[in-house]
Structure 1
Amino acid sequence: MSLLTHPSTTTSRRPPAPAALLPVVGAGQSVPLVDGRSARYVHLDYAASAPALQAVADHVTAVLPAYASVHRGAGYLSQVSTRLLEQARGEIARSVGARDDDVVVLTRNTTDALTLLSTAVPGEVVVLDVEHHANLLPWQRGTARVVPAAGTLAATEAALAAELGRRPAALLAVTGASNVTGEVPPLARLAALAHAHGARIVVDAAQLVPHRGFDLAGLDVDYVAFSGHKLYAPFGAGALVGRPDWLDAAPPHQPGGGAVREVGTTATVWARSPERHEGGTPNVLGVAALAEACRVLAAVGFDRVREHEAVLHDRLVQGLRDRGIEPLRIWTDAPDVVGVVSFTVPGSTASQVAAFLSAEHGVGVRDGRFCAHPLLARLGASDGAVRASLGVGSSAADVDRLLDALDRLRADGPRWTYTSSGGSCRPSPDPRPLPAWWTGDDGLDGPSAAPPSPCTPTPAPPGDHR
């Protein structure tokens, strides 16, 4: 567990360029390119959905034969599955440093968790304008007070203090790590700030937990939300962990079986949390996968995870800067950053760059506005950016493949033709076949292929590239 207080280690003290830290499903997989060749797939989209840890996939395979109904089943397998679910809940609680009286509500993902919490907050919410939509849209349904982030963490913290002091608020909602820039705010200080003004604090830790772990008690944070699919457990489970009183008083998130104590024709007695918000059959295998990912990462140690990703992050950032590309940043004084790097390439749209990287080089990145429209507008990238994100399955070879492909784009431009559809670039034609297990049409050039409108990079002005 990390209290997120110390900055990254300097490059001169780091070990040589690393290979992957942990095995992930799909590592080494070959993908087709548009020119008929194939290449090892480079997964640099961990911030969207991370591949499953091999240990997580193995665990799901091992427990799958025991899958059965939970909580009310009398059969042996039902009893085993119930034990599996509740032990997983306990593992999730331990992994984020939960206090003894905190509850773990099992959700689908971070968005689901924060939406649930939004129905429980007894007052106004203060939030920054740099948040992912999952930590912005739910509060807009109530009374959200959005504070513009300043150019430094110190000035942003002062702006939050001024807003909390101007009028009482029930909750301060903050990101644990930006899904656009990877920057980590001072969570312990923000928690102290919220509490000094009589507010609670929730951390959207979707991008933080996979890279740094979390410590609710140590940071004195009231609630944390995170997703399994970003934590190497892409089986459809997430969690909201924190204080029970607001959740016990909130309307049930999903009314149904398991969320009640007694049901009559005119009235219902609801259970307390977490059961109150977990109506219906739970995602037992997804929760088991999430807990196993938490266990494996804790066993490896987040200091090792942090060191591994810091080396790769520095290699990527320096490589981009050597090519005249400056990564996006929110704050000039942010001392800590996880393995998320967003950038724009002069002379090309983000969609053009991403399509080129995929179709001609087998490199998978994200492009667009990353469900953070206000932040991209603030950073001067309203038309979108390219995001490369790293994880425990990433290697120096992955970073170098991206940088080499950008060199090819700069030197030669794309070798293929591309079309535009709805603002996205796609190869045209796209002869890449789909996997053998696919049962639909024969390839990516199927009935949904983009119409033939131009999608070619605009030449960069002189001096934009080194």
Structure 2
Amino acid sequence: MTAVLSPALPLTVGADLEVPLVDGRRVRYADLDAAASAPPLQAVADHVAEVLPYYASVHRGAGYTSRVCTSLLESARATVGRFVGARTDDVVVFTRNTTDAVALLARAVPGPVLTLDLEHHATLLAWRHTPHHVVAAGDTVRGTLDALRDGLRTHRPALLAVTGASNVTGETLPLTTIVEIAHAAGARVAVDAAQLAPHRRVDLAALGADYLALSGHKLYAPYGAGVLVGRRDWLDAAPAHLAGGGAVRSVAVTDGETDTAWLPAPQRHEGGTPNLLGAVALAAACRALEPVIDSAVPAHERELAARLRAGLVDVPGVRLLECFDDAPDQVAVVAFEVETLPAGLVAAALSAEHGIGVRDGRFCAHPLLDRLTGGRDAVRASLGLAGTADDVDRLVVAVAQLVARGPGWTYAQRDGRWVPTPDPRDLDPLAVGTREGLPGCDR
């Protein structure tokens, strides 16, 4: 079946991909795992293909292709900055992903950090070498804002790091209000926009936030790049995130020791050969999303997410996970429990028997899952630009069948994961050479 997609939305690669089922049939893949990694936009893949013939060194080459690539990198930096509403004096540093971006910021913060307990591990764990205080979120957004006020007053942090949208429930927090509260207490604000930026407009200047981090692989540009965008002073004063060529103005050796003069950001934190293809891919995604991120994208995803939540609520024994009952908005991320079946078994059966890709586990947010499920694993369905009403309906019907009749295949746990036994599908269709002798191979 061909996916029916909105003509207003950019096309993604693989929207009509067919995958095998354990019963021998092939079906169109329903990718409901965009919150983990989204497929590339077709415009992104096309642009990368255009750049490849020119690929060369950046910043330090005199050749024509090197000059072209240097221009491409710096143009990509400006494009990404515009897309996220960077101020004229903000700096855009290319990183590997959001985790890397937050780790870079952690080396630059000159004082204590405050976070909520509902954060992704990338935000919870980055501050291991910095005084770090975790505030328990309330059952409501209003209660959570009160808890933040108390935490800011008690701990006097230099930085408040907060998620833009939960990677578990999709719920958002009122960022403008949070920024106002933090700034009134003398703290800067960093926004983890990994889950927010693919779904909603993120405008750093309009929010008044100080820093923003995001990942290309969640923004339809899975070529290994992310960004940290924000105020320059802390980043210029911080030790180099990745020391090496390109990050220095000069290096001398005196009495057996190196004497280094570092460049300012962004070069200070981009040592080594930069990920040019990742940067241009991320910029291409920003250009493609720019005309639709305020209108077509949220309209498409709100409709599908509402359809999904309404469908799952009607399935007996299914419980949706939510942090608050007064969240101002929810992006298209829906986590749920099936009371009678392990989450991993549900996810494995959805894939093997229905061709539906979801996520199971605790989603790198263990403290939040401790609150929502008592520490049990859950299932997460997340929609992106390639999601359709057919995908949603297939998931709801499949979950209802699993609840009513159980899996239609046999499954076992291997290395902590549920897998079909046997699994007649070719799980390595792109392998080069022989599969013989590979560990875990059924055939």
- Normalising TM by the smaller chain, what interval? over 0.9
Residue 333 of structure 2 corresponds to residue 340 of structure 1: yes
Aligned to 1:315: 307
Aligned to 1:283: 275
* Residue 410 (structure 1) shift: 2.3
Which of 211, 215, 218 lines up with 2:203 in the alignment?
215
Q: Secondary structure at the match of 1:209?
A: coil
Alignment of 1:357-376 (within 5 A): 357-376=350-369
Residue 385 of structure 2 corresponds to residue 397 of structure 1: no
* Residue 382 (structure 1) shift: 1.2
Alignment of 1:24-423 (within 5 A): 24-265=12-253, 266-324=258-316, 325-423=318-416
**How far apart, CA to CA, are the structure 2 residues paired with 1:217 and 1:398?**
36
Instruction: Sort the Cα spacing of 1:56 and 1:190 in 2 relative to 1 into closer, same or farther, 3 A.
Output: same
Q: Secondary structure at the match of 2:212?
A: strand
Percent same amino acid among aligned pairs?
59
* Residue 299 (structure 1) shift: 2.0
Contact conserved, 1:18 with 1:308, CA < 8 A, in 2?
no
Instruction: Give the unaligned 5+ runs of structure 2.
Output: none
**How far apart, CA to CA, are the structure 1 residues paired with 2:189 and 2:433?**
47
Q: Secondary structure at the match of 1:119?
A: helix
Q: Secondary structure at the match of 2:301?
A: helix
Instruction: Give the unaligned 5+ runs of structure 1.
Output: 1-16, 451-466
Indicate the larger mover: 90-99 or 398-407.
398-407
* Residue 440 (structure 1) shift: 5.6
What is the RMSD of the two structures over their aligned residues, measured on CA atoms? Answer: 1.6
* Residue 148 (structure 1) shift: 0.4
Counterpart residue type for residue 134 of structure 1 = A
Counterpart residue type for residue 367 of structure 2 = P
TM-score if structure 2 supplies the norm length? 0.95
**How far apart, CA to CA, are the structure 2 residues paired with 1:446 and 1:255?**
38
1:283-325 per-residue CA deviation (whole Å, 9 max, x = no partner) reads 0011000000011000224221001000000000000011132
1:236-290 per-residue CA deviation (whole Å, 9 max, x = no partner) reads 0000000000000000000000000010013100000010000000000110000
Indicate the larger mover: 77-86 or 299-308.
299-308
**How far apart, CA to CA, are the structure 2 residues paired with 1:19 and 1:195?**
41
Q: Secondary structure at the match of 2:334?
A: strand
Contact conserved, 1:161 with 1:193, CA < 8 A, in 2?
yes
**How far apart, CA to CA, are the structure 1 residues paired with 2:380 and 2:399?**
13
**How far apart, CA to CA, are the structure 2 residues paired with 1:117 and 1:133?**
15
The alignment covers a number of residue pairs equal to: 433
Counterpart residue type for residue 261 of structure 2 = V
Contact conserved, 1:369 with 1:384, CA < 8 A, in 2?
yes
* Residue 163 (structure 1) shift: 1.2
**How far apart, CA to CA, are the structure 2 residues paired with 1:214 and 1:77?**
34
**How far apart, CA to CA, are the structure 2 residues paired with 1:207 and 1:228?**
11
**How far apart, CA to CA, are the structure 2 residues paired with 1:392 and 1:270?**
42
* Residue 383 (structure 1) shift: 2.1
Instruction: Sort the Cα spacing of 1:64 and 1:291 in 2 relative to 1 into closer, same or farther, 3 A.
Output: same
* Residue 377 (structure 1) shift: 0.3
* Residue 30 (structure 1) shift: 0.7
**How far apart, CA to CA, are the structure 2 residues paired with 1:395 and 1:370?**
23
Q: Secondary structure at the match of 1:203?
A: strand
* Residue 36 (structure 1) shift: 1.1
**How far apart, CA to CA, are the structure 1 residues paired with 2:302 and 2:243?**
44
Aligned to 1:458: none
**How far apart, CA to CA, are the structure 1 residues paired with 2:38 and 2:301?**
14
Counterpart residue type for residue 390 of structure 1 = L
Q: Secondary structure at the match of 2:191?
A: strand
Contact conserved, 1:433 with 1:442, CA < 8 A, in 2?
no
Contact conserved, 2:320 with 2:335, CA < 8 A, in 1?
yes
Instruction: Sort the Cα spacing of 1:238 and 1:347 in 2 relative to 1 into closer, same or farther, 3 A.
Output: same
* Residue 326 (structure 1) shift: 2.9
Contact conserved, 1:343 with 1:387, CA < 8 A, in 2?
yes
Contact conserved, 2:247 with 2:262, CA < 8 A, in 1?
yes
**How far apart, CA to CA, are the structure 2 residues paired with 1:120 and 1:62?**
36
**How far apart, CA to CA, are the structure 1 residues paired with 2:231 and 2:328?**
30
1:168-223 per-residue CA deviation (whole Å, 9 max, x = no partner) reads 11000000000000001000000011100000000000000000021010000000
* Residue 381 (structure 1) shift: 4.5
Contact conserved, 1:19 with 1:394, CA < 8 A, in 2?
no
* Residue 378 (structure 1) shift: 0.7
Q: Secondary structure at the match of 1:258?
A: coil
Counterpart residue type for residue 207 of structure 2 = L
Contact conserved, 2:133 with 2:155, CA < 8 A, in 1?
no
**How far apart, CA to CA, are the structure 2 residues paired with 1:261 and 1:276?**
9
**How far apart, CA to CA, are the structure 1 residues paired with 2:405 and 2:150?**
52
**How far apart, CA to CA, are the structure 1 residues paired with 2:194 and 2:128?**
20
1:332-361 per-residue CA deviation (whole Å, 9 max, x = no partner) reads 110200000000011101000000000011
Indicate the larger mover: 273-282 or 397-406.
397-406
Q: Secondary structure at the match of 2:190?
A: strand
**How far apart, CA to CA, are the structure 1 residues paired with 2:155 and 2:235?**
24
* Residue 19 (structure 1) shift: 4.6
Contact conserved, 2:200 with 2:293, CA < 8 A, in 1?
no
